[in-house]
Amino acid sequence: MHVVIMGCGRVGSTIAHSLEAAGHSVAVVDQNAEAFRRLGPEFAGRTVTGVGFDRDTLVEAGIEQADAFAAVSSGDNSNIISARVARETFGVDNVVARIYDPRRAEVYTRLGIPTVATVRWTADEMLRRLLPSGAHSLWSDPSGHVLLCEVPYDVRWVGRPVRWIEEQTGVRVAFVTRFGDAQLVTASTVLQDGDLLQVLAPRDDLARVEAVFAAAPEEAE
């Protein structure tokens, strides 16, 4: 597949090398020609100097044949405009934009542009390491309202059906990790000793969820 990347900073250059190593063709767009030095001499893809939302620049980068487009420059406005041009003007289906402002990320997601809110993600990862106890956030939606968390639980939850656990706790169990393998839950899934439990829950409700799982199920008390 052919991928166009707008922005040749640390993130853009890293993505470009990873895609190329995986056998994909890559074109990188940046206003500053000096930025392409980050790609190194081994980069075999295309480099285009120009504005990432300019039609001619994108055409030169191969946007008309592109299967995916990533906007990862340092500017939120440039990223979202270029992502919308790629999606709406050139019909690229797989488009993603990096957004620093989590409030903007929520708005742009509603416009149909998938976003990666780097500030929110970084904050979550830092908190995960600063506060090792309790739930570990694995993913957050762009608004930061919904979290995918690995939640520790009292041993007395073991042996309970996952669907029953959902009813008792008010969360959605996304999957369990059993012997190192992630498994989607079904109506017959039962929590086993050693399982890692990953749940979806509102951020504002996380403290309650942690407290519920830290105690024994009500029927066991």
- If one counts the domains in the chain, the total is 2
Q: Is 47 contained in some domain?
A: yes
**Same domain assignment for residues 101 and 140:** no
Q: Is 105 contained in some domain?
A: yes
Burial of 218 (0-12, 13-18, 19+ CB in 10 A): exposed
Assign residue 37 the CATH number of its domain.
3.40.50.720
**Same domain assignment for residues 7 and 113:** yes
**Same domain assignment for residues 170 and 81:** no
Range of the domain at 137: 133-220
Q: Is 125 contained in some domain?
A: no
Which 8-state DSSP code applies to residue 89? I
**Same domain assignment for residues 138 and 212:** yes
Question: pLDDT (tens digit, 9 = 90+) per residue, 17-42?
Answer: 999 999 999 999 999 999 999 999 99
Residue 53: closest CA among 21, 78, 24:
78
pTM of the model: 0.65
Q: Is 123 contained in some domain?
A: no
How far is 161 from 131, CA to CA, in rounded Å?
29
Strand-pairing partners, residue 172, are 200
How far is 42 from 61, CA to CA, in rounded Å?
19
Q: Which of 87, 118, 149 is the last residue of a domain?
A: 118
Q: Which of 57, 88, 118 is the last residue of a domain?
A: 118
How far is 211 from 184, CA to CA, in rounded Å?
24
How far is 197 from 157, CA to CA, in rounded Å?
11
Residue with the two structure tokens 């059906």: 161
**Same domain assignment for residues 91 and 148:** no
Which 8-state DSSP code applies to residue 150? E
Question: pLDDT (tens digit, 9 = 90+) per residue, 189-205?
Answer: 999 999 999 999 998 99
CA angle 174, 116, 173 (to 5 degrees): 5
Question: pLDDT (tens digit, 9 = 90+) per residue, 32-74?
Answer: 999 999 999 999 999 999 999 999 999 999 999 999 999 999 9
Q: Is 128 contained in some domain?
A: no
Neighbours of 32 (CB within 10 A): 10
Q: Are 76 and 113 in contact (CB under 8 A)?
A: no
**Same domain assignment for residues 15 and 109:** yes
